[in-house]
């Protein structure tokens, strides 16, 4: 009986040690892949365009938002142009959404993709509403894996 107990206790210790080692490796991997978030905005006329980038390893996500500049704003549909690409390389995506901009910050679009380590990615969001002055935000960020 004592031998069986010793075997069970030994295997339990080995299991716990293996879980602790796997947990330590996961923590090290997570620490090496830092998350960076950067934003840029542009204002001309009626809406403020904000463009944010989140980079995690070689994964990049751009998010565009529009915020009215006047408290008298009435929600309405606004057309946008939203593009993202690797500088000197392939495009990550393009959208031409027409979004109902509310009285608060409203998400206009989201573009995600994979970029080579060491490259730079760039995105542009522009309010494309006829009769309004252009409001364009452009953001370039490095991909440092």
58 and 84 both lie in a single domain: yes
The reply to whether 48 and 62 lie within a common domain is yes
Residue 93 and residue 135 in one domain: yes
* Angle at the Cα of 114 from the Cα atoms of 111 and 120, rounded to 5 degrees: 90
* pLDDT of the residue at 92: 95
Instruction: Provide the pLDDT confidence category of residue 71 given band limits of 50, 70 and 90.
Output: confident
Which domain, by its residues, includes 124?
Answer: 35-142
77-102 average pLDDT score: 94
> For residue 135, what pLDDT band results from cuts at 50, 70 and 90?
confident
CA dist 123 and 92 (Å) reads 9
Count of domains in the chain?
2
Q: Indicate if the pLDDT at residue 119 is higher than 50.
A: yes
Q: Are 93 and 24 part of one and the same domain?
A: no
What pLDDT score was predicted for residue 32? Answer: 54
Are residue 89 and residue 100 in the same domain, yes or no? Answer: yes
| In a shared domain, residues 27 and 50 | no
| pLDDT tens-place string over residues 88-99 | 999 999 999 999
Are 92 and 21 in a shared domain? Answer: no
Tell me, yes or no, whether 82 and 118 share the same domain: yes
Predicted model pTM: 0.74
Give yes or no: residues 22 and 42 share one domain. no
Asked if 93 and 47 sit in the same domain, the reply is yes
pLDDT tops 50 at residue 25: no
């Amino acid at each position: 009986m004592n031998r069986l107990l010793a075997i069970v206790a030994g295997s339990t210790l080995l299991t716990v040690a293996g879980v602790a080692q796997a947990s330590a490796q996961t923590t090290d991997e997570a620490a090496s892949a830092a998350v960076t978030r950067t934003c840029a905005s542009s204002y001309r006329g009626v809406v403020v365009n904000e463009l944010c980038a989140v980079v995690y390893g070689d994964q990049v996500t751009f998010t565009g938002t529009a915020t009215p500049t006047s408290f008298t704003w009435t929600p309405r549909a606004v057309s946008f142009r939203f593009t993202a690409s690797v500088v000197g390389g392939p495009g990550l995506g393009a959208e031409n959404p027409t979004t109902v901009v509310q009285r608060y910050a409203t998400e206009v679009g989201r573009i995600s993709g994979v970029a080579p380590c060491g490259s730079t990615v760039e995105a542009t969001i522009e309010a494309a509403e006829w009769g309004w002055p252009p409001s364009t935000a452009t953001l370039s960020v490095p991909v440092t894996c």
